[in-house]
Homo-oligomer: A and B are copies of this chain.
C-alpha cells in the first residue's frame, strides 16, 4: 500500500486542480473561447516589463556558475538583504538578511515553517473559509487543522471564536489577508484584537502560538485599502510571501519567509527553517528567478486590470440577483449558491461552460469561488451564461 494520505488525495483530490484540468479538456472540445474558466488563481495580467528586462540582463551578463549554482540554503545573501531593506522601507521594520529565507513560493514557505514548528498532534488554527491546501500542509507534519468560523455576513474573524479554539496544543494560527477565497481584507482594529487574544492565550497556557501570515495577495488590493504588516502587531509572527500574484510568476515558484528575531526560539527557528528548506528537497529557492525578483522589488503588476474585472463581474452578478461580498483584495469572488447547494450550483454552471469551484473544499459550503484573474473579454462572454443561471434559479 502506498501512503494513506496520498491515497486519500487520489480519491478526493484538489477540486481546484480537477476543475483546471477539466477546463483544459472542455477547451479542446468546445474551443477555448467558449469555455469560461474561473477555477484557478493563475494570473492573467502580464508580469511587469522589468521582469523580462532583468531576466535578459542577468542571463546575458552574470557569472553562470554563481547565477545557477548552489548558495546558502536560505538564499543569496544580496537578495535577502535587498528584500529586508525593501520591507524596512515600506513598513518601518528592522529586518536584516538573517530574517529572510527565500522559498519555493508561498506553498514552499508554509511547508518549511510548518515542518520547523510542528510536532505530531500539534494544532494549527485557521479561519474558515480558507485555502484548502492548508489542510494538507498541516497534515504533512502530523498536525491537526482546526477551523474557526468567521462572521457569516462579513467573513471576518471573530476574536471570541478564536479564543475558544486555542488550546494548550495550539502551535500556530494561519491567517490570509487579503483572503482566498473571500477577497476580504482584515482591518487594523481586528488585527489588534487577534493579537490580544493570542497574547492572552500564550500567557494563560504558558505556550508559544505563532501567527503565520500567508500573504500572496498583499499587493492586490482595491479601493485604497491598506493591509497592516503583522510583525508590528504581534511578536510571534512569521510572514510567508510569494511573488506569484504581485509579479504574475506563479510557475516560477519564488517567495520568502520573514522570521523576525523577536520570535520565541528565533535562534532555533531561523537556522531550523533553512535546514527544513534543505531536507524537504527544496534545497534553495530557484536561483535565476531569485536574483531577478531581488532586483525588481518595486515592480508590481497592473492591479487596475483586476479591479476592472472585479467591478464588471461583481456588478453584473449582483445585478442578476446573486449574493456576494464585494471583495477588497485578491482576485476572487465568493458567491452564495442561491439554494445553498454549492456542488449543484457548480454543476449547473458547467452546463453553461462556466467553471467555478465549490466552497466546500474551502470550508465554506453553500458558496462557490470565482477566480477573476481572467481576461475582461472572457468575463463579458460569460455573462449570458450567468444571466441564464440566474433565471434557472429564479433570481430574475
Query: B117 contacts A283, CB within 8 Å?
Result: no
Query: B68 contacts A6, CB within 8 Å?
Result: no
Q: Which residues of B contact A285 (CB under 8 A)?
A: 253
* 20 pairs of residues in contact across A and B, judged by CB atoms under 8 Å: A1-B119, A2-B268, A3-B117, A6-B115, A6-B276, A7-B272, A10-B271, A46-B65, A51-B68, A52-B59, A52-B64, A68-B252, A69-B251, A108-B282, A109-B281, A111-B281, A136-B279, A137-B279, A251-B284, A251-B288
Q: Which residues of B contact A70 (CB under 8 A)?
A: 20, 40, 42, 250-251
- Give Cα A250–Cα B40 distance, bound, in whole angstroms: 30
- Give Cα A40–Cα B223 distance, bound, in whole angstroms: 51
SS class, residues of chain A in contact with chain B: helix
With CB as the reference atom, state the residue of chain B lying closest to A67. B251
| Closest beta carbon of chain B to A101's beta carbon, Å | 13
Known: A69-B43, A275-B10, A281-B104. A286 touches B251 (CB 8 A): yes
Whether A323 is near chain B, meaning CB under 8 Å from some CB there, is no
Mask of A286-300 contacts with B, CB within 8 angstroms, 1/0:
111110000000000
Query: B59 contacts A280, CB within 8 Å?
Result: no
Query: A14 contacts B278, CB within 8 Å?
Result: yes
Select the residue from A51, A104, A110, A287 with max chain B CB neighbours within 10 A: A104
Nearest 4 CB-CB pairings of A with B: A251-B287, A111-B281, A136-B279, A107-B281
Chain A 8-48 residues near chain B, CB threshold 8 A: 9-10, 13-14, 17, 20-21, 40, 42-44, 46-47
| Closest beta carbon of chain B to A72's beta carbon, Å | 7
Q: Which residues of B contact A289 (CB under 8 A)?
A: 286, 288
Seed contacts A3-B116, A55-B55, A108-B282; 10 additional CB < 8 Å A-B pairs: A1-B119, A2-B117, A3-B272, A7-B268, A10-B268, A20-B70, A52-B60, A133-B278, A280-B280, A280-B281
Query: B42 contacts A69, CB within 8 Å?
Result: yes
Known: A10-B272, A73-B17. A281 touches B55 (CB 8 A): no
Whether A164 is near chain B, meaning CB under 8 Å from some CB there, is no
Known: A52-B59, A281-B111. A275 touches B13 (CB 8 A): yes
Q: Which residues of B contact A52 (CB under 8 A)?
A: 59-60, 64
Query: A108 contacts B281, CB within 8 Å?
Result: yes
Q: How large is the interface on A (under 10, 10 to 19, 20 to 34, 35 or more residues)?
A: 35 or more
Whether A344 is near chain B, meaning CB under 8 Å from some CB there, is no
Query: B17 contacts A278, CB within 8 Å?
Result: yes
Q: Which residues of B contact A278 (CB under 8 A)?
A: 14, 17, 107, 133
Chain A interfacial positions (CB closer than 8 Å to B) = 1-4, 6-7, 9-10, 13-14, 17, 20-21, 40, 42-44, 46-47, 51-52, 55-56, 59-60, 64-65, 67-73, 104-105, 107-112, 115-119, 133, 136-137, 140-141, 248-254, 265, 268-269, 271-272, 275-276, 278-290
Q: Which residues of B contact A40 (CB under 8 A)?
A: 70
Query: B115 contacts A3, CB within 8 Å?
Result: yes
Q: Which residues of B contact A119 (CB under 8 A)?
A: 1-4
Out of B21, B65, B137, which one reaches A72, CB within 8 Å? Answer: B21
- Give Cα A265–Cα B10 distance, bound, in whole angstroms: 12
- Give Cα A9–Cα B55 distance, bound, in whole angstroms: 35
Q: Which residues of B contact A280 (CB under 8 A)?
A: 111, 140, 280-281
Query: B64 contacts A46, CB within 8 Å?
Result: yes
Query: A265 contacts B2, CB within 8 Å?
Result: yes
